[in-house]
Amino acid sequence: MTNQYYEFFCPVKVIAGKAALEHIPYELTGLGAKRPMIITDKGVRAAGLLDPVIAACEESGLEIISIYDDVPPDSSTGVVKDIAGIYRHEKCDSLIAVGGGSAIDTAKAVNILVSEGGDNIAEYSGAGIIKHPLKPFLVVPTTAGTGSEVTSVAVITDTAKSVKLPFTSSFLLPNAAVIDPRMTLTLPPHITAATAMDAMTHATEAFTCMAKNPLSDAYATAAIKKISTSLLKVMDNPKDSDNRLELAQASTMAGIAFSNSMVGLVHALGHATGAICHLPHGLCMSLYLPYVLEYNLETIRAPLGELLLYLEGPEVYAATPASRRAEGSISALRKLRDELFKRCKLPRTLKEAGSVEEHQLDTIAELAMDDGSMMFNPKEVTLEDARAVLKKAWA
């Protein structure tokens, strides 16, 4: 399953730790930026998470020119156009995204418009359209999950046509990702759980899919070990900033892993379920992960077995016969999901999720078949196979 040829690319500077935010002004001025705009959402602002970012900038004499705090959970082309208009009107020269996947994707898209010109972001959709570096751009993630701060992809909804527009370019990568445990301390339990399982899925799929490689493997296994060690500690003690930082770093490492090795069937099913039933992405990842690993089992037995070391530690790994380790990894993930269900009711089946009707499963399966992630799943998937996995995930 080793690839003879692979590419690995991650030019994003990572600034991490307990005083990471205080480095933002130094980073921006080093990029020649003097008039930053912050892009965030109402929840982040209400939680007081902008305060330390603004304070860090003001202490260094860097004035935040504009704050846009109305990014919706599913960002749209209209929002992107509005923000670009404000950016130009206020003569801003750089962007700071503070938030989860949606705020980060929105900022990536805004950066395309303010750098390349025009009002219609749809013109830049697809891969390879953008040919030049964009404006200085920093990302401060407030969830430990999406890994969007180190991926070259953004997804924006075209509300008029009700389709999701994908954007792919290495120029979408921010100049730096600022990972500070203060930003995730107030994350509610169910979001902490769902976003950590999103990262766990990124890392697990990265390690078991077709395009795995030695560099992505190193990031993936390290991320899995951090999440296995820290997630339940954070669930039981939400203000534990050491383990919050571990989860945040794991999310970034999982992001680096999957953006350099791709993902598979979990993501294909998750994207389709999100589109049809509007379930949050992280929740879908957590829900489908064990069912897909069982489907792929015979194809991924060796790498999945290796993951037992990172999921359960050396004693369990050594005590498990090699032929049972892959099943052991799936059991470990199921056990983690059970613990999360106990603590915050994170659904383990589509039935528990509640917003999916059984008659929608066929539609989800059909939509998943068209997803780009399907190509990298280690085992061929037919429509019948996808339906079968969904039926297992139902109850």
CATH class of 13-183: alpha beta
Q: Give the closest residue to 191 by CA, choosing from 286, 291, 104.
A: 286
pLDDT at residue 321 tops 90 = yes
Work out the mean pLDDT of the chain and round it to a whole number.
95
Average pLDDT of the segment spanning 364-391: 94
pLDDT tens column, 260-282: 988 899 999 999 998 889 888 89
pLDDT tens column, 51-83: 999 999 999 999 999 999 999 988 899 999 999
Average pLDDT of the segment spanning 286-300: 97
Give the burial class of 369: count Cβ atoms within 10 A of its Cβ; 0-12 exposed, 13-18 middle, 19 or more buried: middle
pLDDT recorded at residue 373: 87
DSSP-assigned beta bridge partners for residue 163: 158
Average pLDDT of the segment spanning 172-176: 97
Percentage of residues of the chain with pLDDT beyond 90 = 87
Q: Which numeric CATH code is attached to 189-394?
A: 1.20.1090.10
pLDDT tens column, 230-262: 999 999 999 999 999 999 999 999 999 999 988
**Helical packing angle, 325-344 and 189-208, nearest 10°:** 170
Q: Give the closest residue to 58 by CA, choosing from 78, 75, 81, 38.
A: 38
Q: pLDDT class for 128, splitting at 50, 70, 90?
A: confident
pLDDT tens column, 209-225: 988 999 999 999 999 99
Residues 164-175 as b or e (16 or more Cβ within 10 Å = b):
ebebbbebbbbb
CATH 3.40.50.1970 domain span(s) along the chain: 13-183
Question: Poorest-confidence range of 7-16, 89-98, 146-155, 157-166?
Answer: 157-166
pLDDT recorded at residue 168: 92
How far, in Å, are 119, 218, 246, 257, 376 from residue 225 at the CA level? 44, 11, 10, 14, 24
Q: Which helix (H) or strand (E) holds 251?
A: helix 241-259
pLDDT at residue 2 tops 60 = no
pLDDT recorded at residue 331: 98
pLDDT recorded at residue 1: 52
CATH 1.20.1090.10 domain span(s) along the chain: 189-394
Average pLDDT of the segment spanning 360-381: 93
**209 three-state secondary structure:** coil
What whole-number distance in Å separates Cα of residue 34 and Cα of residue 50? 18
pLDDT recorded at residue 355: 87
Task: Return phi, psi of residue 37, to 5°.
Answer: -115, 135
pLDDT at residue 205 tops 70 = yes
